[in-house]
Amino acid sequence: MAEPRDTVVLAYSGGLDTSCILVWLKEQGYTVIAFLANIGQTEDFDAAQKKALALGAKKVYIQDVCREFVEDFIWPAVHANALYEDRYMLGSALARPCIARHLVLIAQEEGARYIAHGATGKGNDQVRFELGCYALCPSIKVIAPWRMPEFYQRFPGRRELMEYAQKHGIPVPVTPKAPWSMDENLMHISYEAGILENPKNRAPLDLYTKTCNPTTSPDVPDELEIEFEKGVPVKVTNTRNGVTHRSALELFVYLNDIASKHGVGRVDIVENRFVGMKSRGIYETPAGTILYHAHLDIEAFTMDREVRKIKQGLSLKFSELVYNGFWYSPECEFLKHCIARSQQAVAGTVHVSVFKGQVYILGRESPHSLYNEELVSL
């Protein structure tokens, strides 16, 4: 039981679980402040705000963090060509430290000693939230109800949660829950658990929500020119219609649109979670997939071979650290700095075609290219 006036900042999603957690925390005596990051997910933020207030939150913070998510978290991953275990583009792993930063800021503003989240005890996100929060504010205390016996024994299944919701006036979803869990943000959506847990089961066709099915996607490619400076995109032009975007957020959203339209960015993998178990995940990372290919190309074109090899080793380590939640660790800061240093002359324009689930590199040019056409010629 908390002291009467102890305040907790809850990472609130608007869904059933964190709504129940909100009410449960109040039952334990906490004053609850809900924080819901708008990090690009599909959500009715107004409704979520009203709901949290109705459930007894003292305050609800809803903040649009999309721009900083792109600039401060996705861009370093683009620098690194970050892939976890050769395939996963780290969409969730990059979002967590961005959210954790705001949880801590709000806790500091509000004088809250506690932060709570709804991540489970077998997943990666608990680790990412907690390492992030503790790194930014070592004195904070994290409450993880799904790891507390008094919580998980009370709610052994979804049925008990539903009953609790009904009893406490928590709105219950009217549509049946999808037989898997999802996590969405501007960069990606993940699907796991439920019927996907059997790694042999193929994903149902209606699972995907962030990209079109390549079998029904357009029969004509889109072609883009993506311009990079210091290793990040600064301009995207669609050569079919001249549409151009320049700011980080706007061009990222546009790349999401184009990739989504052409079914780009789907993967179905088994990965090794931080806590040790293997887990099957299905991901859609539309813009991230285009940028991965384009950055790889402009980097190869402009970076010294031996620097690239060293940087590749650093990136492998970076990806592993990000996956495991160590974004704010000294080693990750060190790697970010070193990798950014390697990108100083990574500049130029990559021409890509996006079509039927694929990204094709068509050509590239650069003011800093180390490519010497005369030398290579016979």
Sheet-wide strand order for 222-229 = 244-245, 232-238, 222-229, 348-355, 358-365
Distances, alpha carbon 228 to alpha carbons 90, 189, 301, in Å: 21, 26, 12
Distances, alpha carbon 287 to alpha carbons 101, 194, 303, 322, 352, in Å: 24, 27, 23, 19, 13
Active site residue 86: no
Active site residue 17: yes
Question: Looking at 67, 147, 154, 181, which residue is catalytic?
Answer: 181
Q: Minimum distance between the CB of residue 12 and a second copy, rounded to whole angstroms? A: 20
Strand partners, 244: 237
Active site residue 181: yes
Q: Which of 261, 42, 224 is nearest to 13 (CA)?
A: 42
Contact 116, 145 (CB under 8 A): yes
Question: Looking at 13, 92, 96, 364, which residue is catalytic?
Answer: 96
Question: Looking at 13, 92, 101, 125, which residue is catalytic?
Answer: 125
Nearer to a second copy, 44 or 197 (CB): 197
Contact 101, 136 (CB under 8 A): yes
Active site residue 46: no
Distance CA 153, CA 80 (A): 42
Nearer to a second copy, 26 or 311 (CB): 311
Q: Minimum distance between the CB of residue 7 and a second copy, rounded to whole angstroms? A: 29
Nearer to a second copy, 245 or 311 (CB): 311
Nearer to a second copy, 45 or 371 (CB): 371
Nearer to a second copy, 56 or 214 (CB): 214
Q: Minimum distance between the CB of residue 146 and a second copy, rounded to whole angstroms? A: 9
Distance CA 293, CA 351 (A): 11
Residues labelled catalytic = 17, 96, 125, 181
